[in-house]
Amino acid sequence: MKLATRTFLWLLIPFTLVLGVSFWALQARVLLRVHEELESSVKQTQATLANVQKRASADNRRVLRVAAENSTLKAGVQEVLFDRISPGTQQDLEARRTLEQQLVEIGGELDFDFLLVADGNRVPLAAVMIESGKLEPLDLARDQPPSDGYFTSSGRTYQVTSVPINEGGNDEHSENLGWLSVGERFDLSNLPGRVVLLRNGRVIETNSPGLPVPDAEASLRNCPANAECEIQMRGETYVSAPLQSDAASGGYSLRSLESVDAVAGPVQSILRRVFILAGLGALVVAVIVSGLSSRSIVRPIASVINRLHESAATGELPEFDSGKERIHEIRELAESFNRAASAVREGQERLRQANVQFIESLASALDARDPYTAGHSRRVSEFACAAAEALGLSPAQMHEIRIGALLHDIGKIGIADAILQKPGRLTADEEEIIRQHPSIGRKILEGVAGFQAYLNVVELHHENWDGTGYPRRLRADETPLTARVVKIADAWDAMTSDRPYRRGLSRAKALDILRNVAGTQTDPIVTEVFCKLWDAAAAAEESADASLAHLARAVGSETRVPAQQEAS
């Protein structure tokens, strides 16, 4: 993975994580707020239910206390209690019917849905209930309604309130004959929120028709009787809380059942949309900022890396302009590299100079074997470099020519002195041995690290343009340009230097010979450039000679004038 990509991801990922954690924290806060709202709603429902029950009980008790003082009702209760000594007799049945009729009359006057008379132990004696729009006696053998709390019959739920029936008033000295209870339809739809009525853990009524009663019943079994709990129904979360402090008499209890998802869903949906839009916007900003930041970080580093790649290709250490870098660390890196590169270049330059000095010493030692060729390699190197500069060759080619020319005759180390220093002309066999020195020179330098660049000059400086040279008989530009330049410089120094068997040729004669062999033995273009250099040098020398003669004449005339004046 590229540095730019890694930098971009390291900048973007933390921002994305912060965005995700923020969304999660905000969502958790919303859910907590929803729970708090639901708890507040449950408490409100509890308070409402308590107020409703309190008001209903207070109203009913005021009415019941008046009804409980009815002397006819008291007489009927006493008769039933007396006749209950012989239960099931005709007299007992008639007494109960009389009491039931009295309850019908009281219920008709007071507009109650259910009336019940019980003895002092709250054992039902007689009861009537609205059936088909009128009060009818209730079969106590089938239904056993409580004297307080809730009562369910024929799918209807009643809230029951009772007062004592006392003989002799309501003070502490009165005799309790029994209890008078009345009931009104308990309508859950009047309660706020979703409420369920349970009896012994079974849901018997709810104010929400769409509520899955079996699922609610199964889930509520695990809830503590007087504590709040959280349940799951069909993938939806509900909070349930008791609306009464204790279970009502007869095993009845009321619980709220509020859906967290239904309350939190719209808020979460809005929050999700807001976060998606805000998140996308923030993500776009993060991408742009991360991209710009990564570019500002990576670009100078990439520039350094690219320059180093170029350095690896060219072998030259680059120098960075650290003043343009705005990042302090990158600027320090560039300055440190420049110092290191400067030290390396200085070391390379010293090594190069030592290498050149060594090669020059080696060439001088080689030339010292023959007094007639002393300085030959150095002169060939100078002549060849002058021609290379005139040709506009690259610095690398110039270096190859300069060092290659110094080493071009190193193969003569393998030639015997008897042949190399022979004063007369060489025989054909000796000529053949001499012609082996380019190949011998190549073999010598092949095994030396750092000298591979000069092998072409050493081996091929005797190749001819027309292919008649040696050792490979290459034609035209098959011979490298550097070797062709050194060949001309070598030939020039050989012609113009004294030898045991002849004196050196004049400059004019040597130039004529070079121009004559151009296109056969030497590269014609290089030959022409080389000859023009010597033509220019000759013209400069003639001009210098003329200037010296003119100066001598001027000096001579000045010395003659005073002599004439003296004679006169």
pLDDT in tens, 157-193: 888 888 888 876 666 667 888 888 888 887 777 777 7
Range with the poorest average pLDDT among 9-18, 89-98, 226-235, 378-387: 9-18
Count of helix runs (H) and strand runs (E) in the chain? 15, 11
Range with the poorest average pLDDT among 146-150, 413-417, 490-494, 506-510: 146-150
What whole-number distance in Å separates Cα of residue 439 and Cα of residue 457? 11
The DSSP line for 194-207 is: -EEEEETTEEEEES
- Residue 66, pLDDT above cutoff 80: no
The DSSP line for 62-128 is: HHHHHHHT-HHHHHHHHHHHHHTTSTTSHHHHHHHHHHHHHHHHHHHHHT-SEEEEE-TT--EEEEE
Output the pLDDT for position 478: 94
pLDDT bin (cut points 50, 70, 90) of residue 244 is low
What whole-number distance in Å separates Cα of residue 241 and Cα of residue 220? 10
* Across 18-24, average pLDDT: 76
pLDDT bin (cut points 50, 70, 90) of residue 457 is very high
393 vs 234, higher pLDDT: 393
16 vs 461, higher pLDDT: 461
Output the pLDDT for position 424: 76
* Across 467-493, average pLDDT: 94
73 vs 518, higher pLDDT: 518
Residue in 399, 428, 424, 391 with CA at minimum distance from that of residue 523: 391
Backbone angles phi, psi at 76, to 5 degrees: -65, -35
* Across 197-219, average pLDDT: 80
> Which residues, including other chains, have CB under 8 Å from residue 8's CB and lie 6 or more apart?
290, 291, 294
* Across 495-510, average pLDDT: 82
Evaluated on CA atoms 509, 515, 521, 527, the torsion sign reads positive
pLDDT in tens, 247-306: 445 678 888 877 777 766 776 677 677 777 777 777 777 777 766 666 666 666 777 677
Output the pLDDT for position 501: 64
Amino acid at 173: H
pLDDT bin (cut points 50, 70, 90) of residue 450 is confident
- Residue 563, pLDDT above cutoff 50: no
Element (H, E) at 137: strand 134-137
State the average pLDDT for the chain: 78
> Which residues, including other chains, have CB under 8 Å from residue 372's CB and lie 6 or more apart?
497, 498, 499, 500
* Across 12-28, average pLDDT: 75
370 vs 527, higher pLDDT: 527
pLDDT in tens, 305-321: 776 776 666 666 666 66
Output the pLDDT for position 562: 43
Report the percentage of the chain scoring pLDDT > 90: 16
Output the pLDDT for position 390: 93
Output the pLDDT for position 367: 65
First vs last C-alpha separation in the chain: 104
- Residue 245, pLDDT above cutoff 60: no
Output the pLDDT for position 567: 33
- Give the domains, in start order, of the chain with CATH numbers: 69-179 (3.30.450), 368-550 (1.10.3210.10)
Output the pLDDT for position 67: 76
- Residue 81, pLDDT above cutoff 90: no
557 vs 275, higher pLDDT: 275
- The beta-strand segments (E) located in 225-302 are 229-233, 236-242, 252-259
- The beta-strand segments (E) located in 138-251 are 149-153, 156-167, 175-185, 195-199, 202-206, 229-233, 236-242
In this structure, the chain runs to a length of 568
What whole-number distance in Å separates Cα of residue 153 and Cα of residue 215? 24
Output the pLDDT for position 268: 67
Output the pLDDT for position 394: 93
> Which residues, including other chains, have CB under 8 Å from residue 395's CB and lie 6 or more apart?
none
* Across 196-204, average pLDDT: 81
Output the pLDDT for position 559: 43
Q: How many CA atoms lie within 13 A of 384 on its CB side?
A: 32
- Residue 545, pLDDT above cutoff 70: no
Beta bridge partners of 176: 166
Residue in 163, 143, 140 with CA at minimum distance from that of residue 87: 140
What whole-number distance in Å separates Cα of residue 123 and Cα of residue 108? 24
136: left (phi over 0), alpha (psi -120 to 50) or beta: beta
Output the pLDDT for position 71: 79
pLDDT bin (cut points 50, 70, 90) of residue 422 is confident
304 vs 109, higher pLDDT: 109
- Residue 490, pLDDT above cutoff 80: yes
Angstrom CA distances, 266 to 35, 107, 170, 492, stand at 15, 49, 57, 101
* Across 86-103, average pLDDT: 79
Output the pLDDT for position 565: 37
- Residue 487, pLDDT above cutoff 60: yes
